[in-house]
Amino acid sequence: MLSGHDKRDEVITDAVVRILGNSKLRESDAEFLISVGKIDESEEYLLGQADQLNGNHYGSLLFLAEAMEEENRHLVTSMINLSLLTSVLERGYTKAYPSSVRYLKKLDKFDEIVSDWKEFDNHQVFKEQIIEAHGRKRSFWSRYQVKK
């Protein structure tokens, strides 16, 4: 059933309520919220499902990270970048190390900007966890140190 243009706001409002009520993350839902100008709602949705962010979905996550960064939503951008970084390091995908260094550099930068980490670990905590879990990946860390 097609709705007329006069029903647009009602349809969007219904979709936003449905999306925010869903406990399963769908990146396409976050993309929809952004596309209709519901940035606050997209941020709320992504932060609420942050534990479901999967860095293996880098195509959609890159879009979301860029869109959130453009809107100065640094906490959610940090969560997305952390997911992307963790995915590459866990897989040991050395070809993606240059991108991963950029993710970590963004996390470093956002650490200076984000003042409220809400229920999430702050940057220092997750950086220590990354070092502990992936500290032996010399190829990654040497790129990170050089680009510092």
Average pLDDT over residues 107-122: 94
What is the spatial distance between Cα 17 and Cα 12, in angstroms, rounded to a whole number?
A: 9
For the chain, the domain total comes to 1
The residues near 114 (Cβ < 8 Å, ≥ 6 apart) are: 74, 75, 78, 122, 123
pLDDT band (50, 70, 90) for residue 148: very low
Whether the predicted pLDDT of 91 surpasses 80: yes
The residues near 97 (Cβ < 8 Å, ≥ 6 apart) are: 88, 139, 140, 143
List pLDDT tens digits, range 9-45: 899 999 999 999 999 999 999 999 999 999 999 999 9
Q: Tell me the residue range of the domain where 42 lies.
A: 5-146
List pLDDT tens digits, range 47-68: 999 999 999 999 999 999 999 9
Whether the predicted pLDDT of 1 surpasses 80: no
**Helices and strands, counts by H and E, the chain:** 8, 0
